[in-house]
Amino acid sequence: MPNLTIEARELVKRYGSTLAVDRLSFTVEAGRVTGFVGPNGAGKSTTMRMMLALDRPDGGEALIGGRPYTSYREPARTVGALLDPEAVHPGRRACDHLLWMAQYNGIPRKRVDEVLQIVGLESVGRKRVGGFSLGMRQRLGIAGALLGDPGILILDEPVNGLDPEGIQWIRGFLKQLAAEGRTVLVSSHLMSELQDTADHLIILGRGRLLADTTVKELLDQTSGDQIEVRTTERSRTIDALSLAGATVAVTGPETVTVTGLTTERVVSLLSAASIPFTGIGQHRASLEDVYMAMTREHTTFAAAPEDERALA
Partner 1 sequence: MTGEPGVLRLTGRALLAEFTKLRSVRSSGLALLTLVALTMLLSLVAASLSTTTANDAKISVDQFHFVHQPLTGDGTVTAQVGAQRGTDPWAKAGLMFKDGTASGSAYAAIMVTPGHGVLLQADATTEVARPSATGPRWLRLTRTGQSVTGYESADGTTWNTVGTVTTAARPGTGQAGLFVASPPKLRMIGEIPNYEPVLGEATFKNVSLTPAGGGTAAGTWADTEVAPPPDGPETALGEGAPSAPVLAGGSTRKADGTVTVSGSGDIGRAGMGGINLTDVDRVKAGLTGIQFGLIGAIAIGALFMTAEFKTRGIRTTFLARPGRATVLTAKSIVLGTVVFVTGLAVTVPAYLITKPLQDDNGYRAPIYPESSITDPVVLRAIVGASLFLALIALFSLAVGTIVRRTAGAVIVLLAVLVIVPTIAGGTSDTAYAFIGRATPLAGISILQTVELTPVSDAVVTDAWSGFAVLCGYTVAALAAAFWLLKRRDA
Rounded to 5 degrees, φ, ψ at 27 are: -130, 135
Q: How far apart are the C-alpha atoms of 205 and 102, rounded to whole Å? A: 36
Bridge-based pairing of strands 226-230 and 279-283 is: antiparallel
Distances in whole angstroms, Cα of residue 265 to Cα of each of 159, 183, 227, 260: 45, 48, 11, 10
The only residue of 1, 16, 17, 73 in contact with partner 1, by rule CB under 8 A:
73
Q: Is 158 in the site for partner 1 (CB under 8 A)?
A: no
Q: How far apart are the C-alpha atoms of 3 and 78, rounded to whole Å? A: 10
The only residue of 49, 139, 200, 234 in contact with partner 1, by rule CB under 8 A:
49
Q: Please, which of residues 191-220 interact with partner 1 by CB under 8 A?
A: none
Shortest spacing between CB 45 and partner 1, in angstroms: 11
Q: Please, which of residues 138-157 interact with partner 1 by CB under 8 A?
A: 144
Shortest spacing between CB 134 and partner 1, in angstroms: 15
Q: How far apart are the C-alpha atoms of 244 and 237, rounded to whole Å? A: 11
User: Residue 27's beta-bridge partner residues?
Assistant: 7
Q: How far apart are the C-alpha atoms of 48 and 151, rounded to whole Å? A: 17
Shortest spacing between CB 145 and partner 1, in angstroms: 9
Distances in whole angstroms, Cα of residue 107 to Cα of each of 115, 116, 121, 144: 12, 14, 19, 12
The per-residue b/e assignment along 179-211, b for 16 or more CB within 10 angstroms, e otherwise, is eeebbbbbbbbbbebbbebbbbbbbbbbbbbbb
Q: Please, which of residues 83-122 interact with partner 1 by CB under 8 A?
A: 83-84, 86-93, 96-97, 99-101, 103-106
Shortest spacing between CB 127 and partner 1, in angstroms: 13
Comparing CB distances to partner 1, the nearer of 81 and 174 is 81
Shortest spacing between CB 201 and partner 1, in angstroms: 25
The only residue of 5, 23, 55, 212 in contact with partner 1, by rule CB under 8 A:
55
DSSP for 157-174? STTTT--HHHHHHHHHHH
The only residue of 1, 16, 17, 56 in contact with partner 1, by rule CB under 8 A:
56
Comparing CB distances to partner 1, the nearer of 71 and 247 is 71
Q: Please, which of residues 4-33 interact with partner 1 by CB under 8 A?
A: none
Q: Is 254 in the site for partner 1 (CB under 8 A)?
A: no
Q: Which residues bind partner 1 (CB under 8 A)?
A: 2, 49, 52-56, 69-70, 72-76, 81, 83-84, 86-93, 96-97, 99-101, 103-106, 144
